[in-house]
Amino acid sequence: MTQSSLFEIRELSLPGVLLITPKIFSDVRGYAEVAYNTEEFAALGIMTDFKQDFRSYSVKNVIRGLHFQRAPYMQDKLVHCTQGEILDVAADCDPASATFGAYTSAMLTVGNHLMLYIPGKYAHGFCVTSDTAIVEYKMGGKYSPEYAKGIPWNDPLLHIIWPTSNPILSEQDKSWQPLTHKS
């Protein structure tokens, strides 16, 4: 575990995937937190030059993902849930990787304030477990449709344990091809 004056960071089971806990400043009025600070993140080893902020609103049992972009347009992500709760997932879909087919996950809620940093080499997705959720994330790199890829939410190689067996999916997320097994 690594700490700064504003954040505590713990690496999860995939190298580089970080669970970030911001320091909460609370009093009788409520609370405040710093969701991102370039200098603090750099001091903790996160050097991503974030290019855009993205926000989604979803209803219960929506799964968005698993999405990624191939080089040279990989996108690091810093994800947090600002309303409701989600199961956030990062998966290794690179056959050349030692952790190919592995995934890690974390529950992100408006109440626990946790954020997940996901390097661009991993696929990312989430499932809404509350009635509704708003998910906000910073993205490094630009969106490039010709490099955008995905894998099925229920890919047999990954064996992700999702909190729903009947998700609501986009047409695009229904069309992804499964990973092939590592030989």
Q: In the prediction, which pLDDT does 142 show?
A: 87
Q: One-letter amino acid identity for 135?
A: V
**What pLDDT digit, counting tens, does each position of 137-156 carry?**
999 988 899 999 999 999 99
Q: What is the mean pLDDT of the chain?
A: 95
CA distance 34 to 56: 20
Domain ranges for the chain = 48-163
Beta-bridge partners for 22: 7
> Maximum Cα–Cα distance for the chain, whole Å?
58
- Indicate if 103 belongs to the active site: no
**E strand or H helix at 148:** strand 148-150
Q: Which residues contact 124 (CB under 8 A, 6 or more apart)?
A: 65, 66, 67, 68, 77, 79, 88, 89, 90, 91, 118
Q: Which comes out higher in pLDDT, residue 181 or 50?
A: 50
Number of alpha carbons in the 13 Å side-chain half-sphere of residue 24: 12
Is 137 tagged catalytic? yes
pLDDT, tens digit, for every residue of 116-142? 999 999 999 999 999 999 999 999 988
Q: Which pLDDT tens digit goes with each residue over 72-122?
A: 999 999 999 999 999 999 999 999 999 999 999 999 999 999 999 999 999
- 134 class by beta-carbon count within 10 Å (0-12 exposed, 13-18 middle, 19+ buried): middle
Contacts of 54 (CB under 8 A, 6+ apart): 136, 137, 138, 139
- Catalytically annotated residue among 73, 122, 137, 181: 137
Residue 106 in contact with residue 116, Cβ under 8 Å? yes
> Can you tell me the mean pLDDT for 62-68?
97
Superfamily of domain 48-163, CATH level 4: Jelly Rolls (2.60.120.10)
* Catalytic site residue from 36, 67, 73, 147: 67
Confidence of residue 180 (pLDDT cuts 50, 70, 90): confident
Task: For the chain, give the number of residues.
Answer: 183
Residue 183: pLDDT over 80: no
Q: Given pLDDT bands bounded at 50, 70 and 90, which one contains residue 1?
A: confident
